[in-house]
Amino acid sequence: MRISDPIELYTYPEEWVRGQAEIHGVGFVKSRISSGLYILTENGWLRRGITTGTTATAAAVGAISSLFGETESVRVRTPAGIEVEVAVDAEDGYARARKFSGDHEFDVTDGIEIHARVSEDLEFGEGVGRLRGRPAVSRAVVEQLLENVETARNQWGYDGSVRIWIPAGEMVAERTDNARMGVTGGISLLGTTGFVEPWCRKLVETKVEIAKQYDRIAITTGRKGWKWALENLREYQPFVFGVHLDEILKAHDGEIVIVGLPSLLVKWAVPELRGKVLKGRRLEGYRSRVLERAREINEGVVDVILLG
């Protein structure tokens, strides 16, 4: 029985699927995986969380819905195209939702509350960081908010939008890298899929085992590289490994292409640059250093692609 992950599109080992199906039934396994909220492992499950973008969207939809009746949870559509149900505290045009980071071991925004109140236009207030004078809200999250708010508007006949703020945003931001990246006054609202990958040792081990099924893989540092590889390297199965490049390079026996942002890969390959701001440097010339470092670990690396 072949079942694929709806977020990264890799196929789970059949023996893993059979093992859980024997315990819980095939329907249970399919439902969990298709929800996007669970990753199947060799002996159980890891839980994905929801991003700050999905949390803010849930608060926004909850605020609108609460104008028209009791609202304890809402369903919102994620950028991955999967709907998730999120609990909200909502009443009279106001709502708050709590971010859940799943089994992620070090997400400092886990549990943060994002608030929303109905307003005439989409606005971002206290605790939402600002970058170069504009709200630090990614394009994917803006689109997610607009899509879900429009759905709520049509459902309820509401002619307005919401204001979003994060009371603990500025305090939590002190524990992030926002200041170094120029974001001030709060946390960013992010999320290219709407889900938080549960980064922990178990996830890395699980993805390594899944990757071993494929003769050709594209290792990526993040979602941008994953999407590029999916669209341009059709013969390679893409995997996001973040900072855990060494683990997959040491374990995989097939053909590998590495794809990612120059700053991340260069810092991995050139230790003396770690912890330094690379803005303004011409990093394209470091490709050979990245390829050299990768081939020291695994001779099966055939190429390194640095994205602009």
Q: Per-residue pLDDT tens for 73-97?
A: 999 999 999 999 999 999 999 999 9
Give the pLDDT confidence score for residue 273 in this predicted structure. 59
Confidence of residue 4 (pLDDT cuts 50, 70, 90): very high
Confidence of residue 275 (pLDDT cuts 50, 70, 90): low
CA angle 227–191–72, rounded 5-degree value: 135
Give the pLDDT confidence score for residue 159 in this predicted structure. 96
Check pLDDT > 70 for residue 280.
no
Alpha carbon distance 185, 181 (integer Å): 12
Domains and CATH numbers, the chain: 1-48 (3.30.1990.10), 50-195 (3.30.2110.10), 214-306 (3.40.50.10720)
Alpha carbon distance 5, 302 (integer Å): 26
Alpha carbon distance 92, 86 (integer Å): 18
Check pLDDT > 60 for residue 142.
yes
Residue type, 165: W
Q: The pTM is what?
A: 0.94
Average pLDDT over residues 284-292: 84
Alpha carbon distance 73, 68 (integer Å): 14
Average pLDDT over residues 43-71: 97
What is the total residue count of the chain?
308
Instruction: List all residues 6 or more positions away from 190 whose beta carbon is below 8 Å from its beta carbon.
Output: 51, 52, 53, 138, 140, 141
Give the pLDDT confidence score for residue 286 in this predicted structure. 79
> Would residue 9 be called left, alpha or beta, if left means φ above 0 and alpha means ψ between -120 and 50 degrees?
left
Q: Are 292 and 301 in contact (CB under 8 A)?
A: no
How far from 15 is each of 2, 19, 33, 206, CA to CA, in Å? 10, 6, 15, 14
How far the first Cα of the chain sits from its last, in Å, is: 39
Give the pLDDT confidence score for residue 109 in this predicted structure. 97
Instruction: List all residues 6 or more positions away from 25 whose beta carbon is below 8 Å from its beta carbon.
Output: none
Confidence of residue 282 (pLDDT cuts 50, 70, 90): low
Check pLDDT > 90 for residue 17.
yes
Alpha carbon distance 48, 103 (integer Å): 7
SS3 content of the chain, % helix, strand, coil (to 5): 35, 25, 40
Average pLDDT over residues 208-224: 97
Alpha carbon distance 18, 26 (integer Å): 8
Give the pLDDT confidence score for residue 148 in this predicted structure. 98
What DSSP character marks residue 13? P
